A = this chain, B = another copy of it.
């Protein structure tokens, strides 16, 4: 993995990063690294996410995955950070058999469950707190269906949680294996921890290579921004944000990275969206969104940057056969890989042409190693960005209000939150 920052420098972009700013950022990154390096090493809360799982954690994981080796599917029940890490990895790597319930949409959930052979499925219930309403609800529904199908759910279910709570009690009652949710890692930073690796391991994913990629990311973190793609990306996006680039469109040229954009959006939003600040992550997809978003990116307000993800080799060759009429002779025998990469190049140039800043992340291919590097680099970026802005990147205080309101309504408790939901301000417009 490497990143090209040329198109966000002020020689191209406006606003863009000046060479003086880059020097200043390099000094700040160096100082921050001196501060957080030991925090990473000491597994301090949050920073611990940059460490690959320990050999002990992996040993425990292997024991659990071995016991489920003969199942074809894993159903992960979680929401937010409890689901997005494993979903991102399995989607990007094309690992089939990983299914996810990460919403409480009855139509969508039944669609998943009706198309899944639950007798051949390991159920993976994930909640850091062990008390997430959506996750407990979905688990209860899945268990009920399994019981009705005479499936011994207790023999094919494991939970991923911290030490206390409903899931832990459930594990005690039914002797379900537990993958401990590392208590020093916030949910959205758990993509390279045992939390996300468990389903992949059961389904035969190359977890060792993902961890090697994460370790390579860890080794790339240094006092020099110029040798640390993760730090560089975080520092530059923060500086661009300070220059008025309030949105960042994540635009991979690979459908396999679609879930990655959701994961990135969560990481960015929950970590950096606080204290009246925070760059807004957008999700886009190349080349499709050239026919959807590009008009706005090029011609709208200059308050947006684009992060391209360029995959050199898609490892699937599709060659375009000759067309009927000579107007399209130039398509004949073109590789679709090459077409897709040329589309990226032209879009990148199209934005540079009008001074819209962009950064390009390049992967030679989407394999386990580079995916480990990519996710690690994004987490390091996010952490350095929070440090540069002096905000706590590891909490999410603003989601508590809604959680309290939800619980209070469901339990019938009167509180300022629950009574606020009786919207007295409604102003309906209808014909």
Contact = CB atoms under 8 A, between A and B. Distances in A.
B137 A353 contact: no
Contacts of A324: 166, 169-170, 173
A277 to B, nearest CB: 6
Interface residues of A, number: 143
A14 interface: no
A348 B282 contact: no
Interface string A313-343: 0111110111111011011001111011011
A18 B140 CA distance: 46
Contacts of A273: 293, 295-297, 299-300
A4 B424 CA distance: 11
B274 A295 contact: yes
Given A265-B292, A300-B280, A7 B256 contact: no
Given A352-B420, A429-B5, A431-B220, A343 B104 contact: yes
Contact of A430 (B2, B169, B397, B428): B2
A285 B103 contact: yes
Contact of A229 (B293, B337, B429): B429
A2 B428 CA distance: 7
Nearest to A80: B291
B136 A328 contact: yes
Please state the number of chain copies in the assembly: 2
Contacts of A292: 80, 84, 188, 262, 265-266, 269-270
Contacts of A336: 104-106, 109, 137, 141
A405 interface: yes
Interface in A41-94: 79-81, 84, 94
Given A265-B293, A298-B398, 10 more contacts: A80-B292, A104-B340, A104-B343, A106-B336, A107-B254, A133-B328, A274-B295, A339-B410, A347-B402, A349-B423
Interface of A: 1-7, 9, 11-12, 79-81, 84, 94, 102-110, 131, 133-134, 136-137, 140-141, 143-144, 166, 169-170, 173, 188, 216, 219-220, 225-229, 232, 246-247, 253-256, 262, 265-266, 268-270, 272-278, 280, 282-283, 285-304, 314-318, 320-325, 327-328, 330-331, 334-337, 339-340, 342-343, 345-350, 352-353, 396-399, 401-402, 405-406, 409-412, 417, 420-421, 423, 425-431
